[in-house]
Chains A and B, each alone.
Chain A
Amino acid sequence: MTAVRVGSARRVSWVDRFLTGLRIVLIALIAAGLVAFVAQQISVDNPFARWRNPDATGLTGDQLKGLVVTGIAQGSMYGLIALGYSMVYGVLGFINFAHGEVFMLGAMSGFVASNKLSANGYWESNFFGSFVIVVVIAILVSTAAAVIMERVAYRPLRDSPRLIPLITSIGVSFFIQNAVLGLLGPNSHSYPQLPEWLAKSRSILTFEIPGTKVMVMVVAALSMAVLWWVVERTKTGKAMRAVAEDKEIAALMGINVDRTIVLTFAIGGAMAGIGGILWGLSFRSVTHLTGFLPGIKAFTAAVVGGVGNLGGAMAGGVSLGAAESLGPQLILEPLGVSGVSQLRDAVAFTALVVVLLFKPSGLFGERLSEDDRT
């Protein structure tokens, strides 16, 4: 009996073969792309560089550094949003697909606030003060949105199968998108100019970095540090982790589970609000659909990092940002794919597939309770 079971467990199914094949093909493609890129950097006339892409030009050092910086800045915004996905998943065990809209609400309210301030001239005269006001407003709006969402849409479904809040979250997402569409119209809204002293490029460690990206990275790193500290070191964070591990026991330890869940949504919402402001200031244009793609990418980042793991969410965000920024130039271009700059999204999601093929629980594994996650 046992022998039979061992035999059947060892049998390699065609799915396994297919997956192994896929792994080999993807690794071969990445390796070939990178080798061709290196060859092309050494000399453009190198036969290997010419092999797939006869028009190869290679990248200058500054271009490469620029791509790295863009990737990290973009990735830290994904990371900020991914934190919300990961925290809610950790505590409630479902993916809140409306989290991207929380981010969009942050960006939108930031636009409304900064536009008002700009109309008064305060934006130009006291940028720092108005920046603080805008950030505070965005955080308040996003936090409120996340908390109300939990109260109205998810708490009544707390005890239902996890698929149900998941589907609800898609509905909530459509609701918020259309509410914003109704309130502010379908046009894209532009943030006011950033002041010259902030936007200008500065040279840090030989990297030529636009000030906006410095700001994005600094603010993201600060927020992440504060969040990590709250979760790991304070009793509020301990309560959150206790609720994530076992809600019933947490309640018996005197923890108000409902309040802790609200707090989790609030913190995730605040992070998304900060992300929204940074997004608005970097790209200076928001619409009611702004939340969709970054939301999906941030979800991807959370999965890449290992969903439920906060450090993983941030690391996943940064790696995903770097992958989608560098991937097209470093791997696809040397392989002779045309129009590579259009392929960022494809690269990002391929990166997800690659990570999951090799490490199904994400880069930083699993830190979930033994609770039956289905």
Chain B
Amino acid sequence: MSPVLSIHDLTITFGGLDALSKLNFHVDEGEIVGVIGPNGAGKTTFFNAITNLVPPTSGDIRFAGESIVGLDPYHVTELGVARTFQNVRLFPNMTILENVMVAQHCRTHQHAFGALLQTKAFRREEREIRERAIEVLSFFGTRLIGYRLDQPAFVLSYANRRRLEIARAMATQPRVLLLDEPVAGMNPKESAELTALIGRLRSEWGFTIVMIEHDMGVVRDVSDRVVVLDHGETIAQGSFDEVSNDPHVIEAYLGRPVEGAS
């Protein structure tokens, strides 16, 4: 089986600094891959490159076999890649329902003229978008539905904003979901709950997931495979137990032991 997303020799240079250098990566359909690495390892740049927010200096990114380098970000979303951000980025002045409805923009076909004339097709589609939005929000229990639907997103608590951001990414109907530190800033109870949800994202919704995370407990619980980045390069990959005992990984996180000391 060919991987759904594969990256070949990807290099991104900012000024003289290689944020990513000759990175190779792939993720298979239905896999959950955890991406870890110390701060500044290039994890977020890696996501930015896949969603084409930053252009690669060299190398290739292939989605379902087709190169996506140089496409507009909206086009990448249309193909089926969605992401969340480390620092949650919602549309704060739009309501929760609208935030999720707007995410289905590229999956709809009716245009402003249909809206003006109130055609049957337009009204049906508008209803479908709405129903789908509520379905996606229901994934998080009752936290984001009911009276919440018509509240602006800025009133939400931090954890709920994270949930809404994931709901919004789900609503774009992606094949690959990129989660950038989904449990950052959550308390242990919330993060355990979200960890369970990430598993259900695959089993119930069929997403392939790539997740950047610093919380090793979460990485261990959900990842099939872990990729460790440091200085823009893959230094190790394999199961969580394999990489957590890898001397390169320990060195990247803790530094090199002093010569001669045991």
Residue of A nearest to B51 (CB): A252
**Range of interface residues on B (Cβ < 8 Å):** 20 to 34
Q: Which residues of A contact B246 (CB under 8 A)?
A: none
**B107 interface neighbour in A233, A234, A250, A254, Cβ under 8 Å:** A254
Q: What number of A-B contacts does a CB cutoff of 8 Å give?
A: 92
- Which chain B residues have a beta carbon within 8 Å of chain A's beta carbons? 51, 53, 72-74, 77-78, 82-83, 85, 89-94, 98, 101-108, 110-112, 115-116, 126, 129, 168, 172
- Bound state CA distance, A153 and B85, in angstroms? 33
Among B51, B53, B103, B107, the most chain A Cβ lie within 10 Å of the Cβ of B103
Find the A residue at minimum CB distance from B114. A234
Q: How many residues of A contact B (CB 8 A)?
A: 26
Which residue of A236, A241, A251 is within 8 Å of B74 (Cβ)? A251
Residues of A within 8 A of B82 (CB): 252
**CB pairs A–B below 8 angstroms (13 shown):** A230-B112, A230-B115, A235-B104, A236-B115, A238-B102, A238-B105, A242-B102, A245-B91, A249-B89, A249-B91, A252-B51, A253-B172, A254-B74
A253 and B77 in contact, given A235-B105, A236-B115 (Cβ under 8 angstroms)? yes
Q: Taking the complex as formed, is A257 at the interface, i.e. its CB lies under 8 A from any CB of chain B? A: yes
Q: How far is the CA of A288 from the CA of B110 in the complex (A)?
A: 39
Greatest chain A CB density within 10 A among B78, B85, B102, B103 is at B102
Instruction: List, in ascending order, chain A residues with CB within 8 A of B74's CB.
Output: 251-257
C-alpha spacing A56/B169, complex, angstroms: 68
Q: Which of A239, A263, A369 contacts B105 (CB 8 A)?
A: A239
| B93 in contact with A367 (CB, 8 Å) | yes
Residue of A nearest to B52 (CB): A251
CA distance A245 to B126 in the complex (A): 22
Measured in the bound complex, the distance between the Cα atoms of B44 and A332 in whole Å is 63
Interface assignment of A55: CB less than 8 Å from any CB of chain B: no
Contact A235 B129 (CB under 8 A): yes
Contact with B along A141-168 (1 / 0, CB 8 A): 0000000000000000000000000000
Q: Is the pair A236, B111 in contact by a Cβ cutoff of 8 Å?
A: yes
Of B72, B105, B111, B126, chain A has the most CB atoms within 10 Å of the CB of B105
